[in-house]
Amino acid sequence: MDHREIMNRVFAKLGEEKRLHEYGEAIRRMLGIVIDFISAEGVSLKLSQGRNFNAICDAMRRSPEGKCRCHDEDLRRSRAAAEAGKELVYTCHAGFTEIVVPLYDDGGGFIGCMTAGQFYTAGQERPGDDDFRRLAALVGKDAETLRRDSAAAVVLTPEQLAGVVCYLKLMGKLVSGTYGNLLFMEQLNAPDRITLVQKYVHDNYMRPMDVKSVARRFYLSANYFSRLFRRTLGTGFNSYLNCYRVEKAREMLLETNLSVSEIAFACGFGSISQFNRVFRDVAHRTPGAVRRDPVRN
């Protein structure tokens, strides 16, 4: 797999991250604005899924010429922010306030920008008659309709604007971290991935975990993860987890004075009955028998 294909896969998986969409929806509900992430190549994650644009921006995106203008400006401004190494707040060609916050990978490479816009800032100069006529010619609407649409656009105070910048920076940390993890995982072969899963189990066996949650942690579908795990280790994930937990429980039975119930919960079992059942299935003895007769271990 070449570098471009890896990057395309990483970007596609980044767009599937549920948390990013949830955070984008949260700020839309709070302030009525849309946010997004644009890659260094100018590709959008479409966190708003094309919904909730203000009327002028929606018309702009539906017009081939308007869409091209918006895309070119997005790309130009994001690269300017990347070169400056800081956020950029500007007025777009349609007259709205826009924000771009550049993001970088662990090596300092530019990966894209968090963006927000399609709103006015209190005190900002609004588009005039000439501007509306120009926009009308661009999107195929009459100027008076665009003027009415403009009056309905969201207006943020300077304090709210500063808050949005902070929000984008916080989201940017999530995006950059997720991006780095995805890139790392995409560059690993299958056995190396399972080695990481084994280490995760060894470090976290005392916590609740299942196929779905662990697969999600390593950016894999549950079905693919299950097949990959069995193919690599010759056993299913749940069986591996149970065997490891039982082994740790055996050590505690022989080396500590903890009660059986304390050991059960310390090893990640949800109940005493589950612990006893799994322990017998794996060790072919009860926990009590192991403690009473350590010689047979």
The token pair at 87 is 């956020």
The CA distance from 122 to 72, in Å, is 26
Based on the structure, what is the number of domains in the chain?
Answer: 2
* Number of alpha carbons in the 13 Å side-chain half-sphere of residue 290: 23
Burial 256-271, CB ≥16 within 10 A → b, else e: eeeebeebbebbbbee
- The radius of gyration computed from the CA coordinates of the chain, to the nearest angstrom, equals 27
Last residue of some domain: 127, 161, 186?
186
CATH of the domain at 194: 1.10.10.60
pLDDT digits (tens, 9 = 90+) for 76-101: 999 899 999 999 999 999 899 999 99
pLDDT digits (tens, 9 = 90+) for 204-217: 999 999 998 888 77
Backbone angles phi, psi at 232, to 5 degrees: -80, -40
Asked if 170 and 208 sit in the same domain, the reply is no
Asked if 169 and 115 sit in the same domain, the reply is yes
Asked if 181 and 54 sit in the same domain, the reply is yes
- pTM, two decimals, is 0.65
Residues spanned by the domain of 277: 190-296
CB atoms within 10 A of CB 151: 8
Last residue of some domain: 157, 186, 215?
186
Average pLDDT, the chain: 86
Highest mean predicted confidence (pLDDT) among 22-26, 135-139, 161-165, 183-187 = 161-165
Question: Coil, helix or strand for 77?
Answer: helix
Asked if 238 and 154 sit in the same domain, the reply is no
C-alpha 57 chain-centroid distance: 26
pLDDT of residue 64: 87
Asked if 268 and 133 sit in the same domain, the reply is no
Last residue of some domain: 124, 159, 186?
186
Highest mean predicted confidence (pLDDT) among 146-150, 224-228, 244-248 = 244-248
Tell me which residue of 241, 239, 266, 238 sits closest to 252, measured CA to CA. 266
Residues 221, 187: contact at Cβ < 8 Å?
Answer: no
Asked if 133 and 200 sit in the same domain, the reply is no
The CA distance from 55 to 200, in Å, is 48
